[in-house]
Amino acid sequence: MSAAVNALPLRIRVSRLGALVKREMRDQLRDWRVVIPMVILTLFFPILMNFAARVVINYVNQYGGQVIAEAVFPFLLMIVGFFPTSVGLVIALESFVGEKERYSLEPLLATPLSDVELFLGKVLASVITPLCAAALGISAYLAGMFFSAGWFPPLELLVQILILTVAHAVCMVSAAVVISAQTNSVRAANLLASFVIVPFALLMQGESMIMFYRMYNELWWVIGGVSLLAVIFIRIGLRQFRREELLSREVEELRFDRMGSYFWRCFSGGARTPLAWYRLAVAPAFRRILTAVPWTAIALFLGVVIGVVLADRFPLPVSMLRTREYKQEFLDSLQALGFFTPGGAWMIFSHNAQAIFLAFVLGAISLGIMGLVVLMLPIGVISFATVTMARAGTPAWLFVLGFVLPHGIVEIPAMLISGAAILRVGNCLLSKPEGRSLGQIWLQALADWLCVMLGVVLPMFLLAAILETWVTPLAAAKVLGW
């Protein structure tokens, strides 16, 4: 009896969600602007891709390139599934702001649906129709390829493409629903759609390269990443969606003076002296990024693992690693690079600062992911060199002690802190609004990043550059027995 009572609210929520989805589906299929493009995309693109596949087959057969042609077929299959899902953007972009322009939003908000049910109902209704169209298009493409070229993908590859299609659709639709809930007109929502389409177009280019080189095992990692992005976008929507703000939101003017003053308040913390700035601005910003430190540490550890794997897969000849034969060359290179001079320290510091800025830019447009990838690269190089030198006879702990630890004891924590700040900027929309707009949330995260960079990370990088210029070469020479 108690179990039935506990399950009753869940059934009520599911029934409300189902009623909303049914209403949305009925409205979609009644709108010719959705039905006609969906039908055209579903029926035309499989025919076009089959024609393109036949052209590729006829061309490469002249030069004995059947293997190349078959590597293109999975990419065309993914394209067939992707284009119908783009119709979901039109539906999702109009999900809330379209209701507002049609004056049907007030009755919808008057229903007993919760915020979660409203958002999930809109997402489900926006993704079901294009996914059905994508399934029909994929089936038509596979049938055409089987009868015209005798090609059918392996079961694992077919499952991967189907999962990617679903993940792409959920990511794009959930992001578009968030845009629709935050804008004031369909025109503004359509203009912002480029921030959804362009990143996923670039993502598909990377996926196509993986398919072309038949790295199907690595494709599972991409599927995991895209699926994680889908979960993140849905969580952003659930965090940022507030029904009471849909009707009260007015046209937001682009006021650089207000943006600048809000950013300065977040950055300065109202401090008048450098010591007060550290206490009122830097310390709170540092505490706010601590939640991202474990994820950054995991990313850096993955960089170590990748470096070790690559060192085993692509070993260097041991003859190249006989360091005693290259003593003079090593010393000459240190002198040429400016070690033991202030100019060398400044060069290392500026290089690290540029790398951090690049990581910030890439992380800001990729939910922090690409920023962490940039930080993983030097960690991977260090682990690759450690394994390589261990193969040549220098113990790994001794190499780390001489070549990495003298400056890495400062530089690696600085990378960890900067990565956490970048990750928070990329994922700032996951934080609770607490009465703030999206712009204010992003400006706060940007101010926190700048506070941590200027107050903590860059001084640590400067100290690490000094240690790397004057201390690390001496420790490395000691390890090498010079």
Q: Are 372 and 299 in contact (CB under 8 A)?
A: yes
pLDDT > 90? residue 415 = yes
* Least reliable range by pLDDT among 2-6, 49-53, 236-240, 270-274: 2-6
pLDDT > 80? residue 335 = no
Report the percentage of the chain scoring pLDDT > 90: 20
Residue with tokens 């790397």: 468
* pLDDT value, residue 8: 38
**pTM (whole model) above 0.95:** no
pLDDT > 80? residue 56 = no
Q: What is the distance between the alpha carbons of residues 55 and 64, in angstroms, rounded to a whole number? A: 14
pLDDT > 50? residue 3 = no
* Least reliable range by pLDDT among 25-34, 260-269, 317-326, 414-423: 317-326
134-182, pLDDT tens digit by residue? Answer: 888 888 888 888 887 778 888 888 898 899 888 888 888 888 887 777 7
At 408, the pLDDT band (50, 70, 90 cuts) reads very high
pLDDT > 60? residue 125 = yes
Report the percentage of the chain scoring pLDDT > 70: 83
For residues 3-16, average pLDDT: 51
* pLDDT value, residue 12: 46
Alpha helix (H) ranges present in 269-292?
A: 274-277, 283-289
pLDDT > 80? residue 97 = no
* pLDDT value, residue 25: 81
* Least reliable range by pLDDT among 82-91, 166-175, 276-285: 82-91
240, 254, 253, 255: which is closest to 96 by C-alpha? 240
For residues 277-288, average pLDDT: 93
Mean pLDDT of the chain: 80
pLDDT > 70? residue 422 = yes
pLDDT > 60? residue 253 = no
| ∠ CA 257-263-266, rounded to 5° | 145
Q: What is the distance between the alpha carbons of residues 410 and 54, in angstroms, rounded to a whole number? A: 58
For residues 381-404, average pLDDT: 86
pLDDT > 80? residue 321 = no
SS3 216: helix
pLDDT > 50? residue 4 = no
For residues 119-127, average pLDDT: 85
432-478, pLDDT tens digit by residue? Answer: 666 676 678 888 899 999 999 999 999 999 999 999 998 988 888 77
* Least reliable range by pLDDT among 97-111, 312-326, 437-451, 462-476: 312-326
DSSP letters for 453-466: IIIIIHHHHHHHHH
Q: For the purposes of burial, counting CB atoms within 10 Å of the CB of 98, is it exposed (0-12), middle (13-18) or buried (19 or more)?
A: buried
Domain layout of the chain by residue ranges:
2-248, 256-480
Q: What is the distance between the alpha carbons of residues 133 and 365, in angstroms, rounded to a whole number? A: 30
At 9, the pLDDT band (50, 70, 90 cuts) reads very low
* Least reliable range by pLDDT among 204-208, 396-400, 434-438, 445-449: 434-438
Q: What is the distance between the alpha carbons of residues 420 and 422, in angstroms, rounded to a whole number? A: 5
Q: Are 126 and 92 in contact (CB under 8 A)?
A: yes
Q: What is the distance between the alpha carbons of residues 471 and 148, in angstroms, rounded to a whole number? A: 68
pLDDT > 50? residue 10 = no
pLDDT > 60? residue 5 = no
* pLDDT value, residue 211: 81
pLDDT > 80? residue 219 = yes
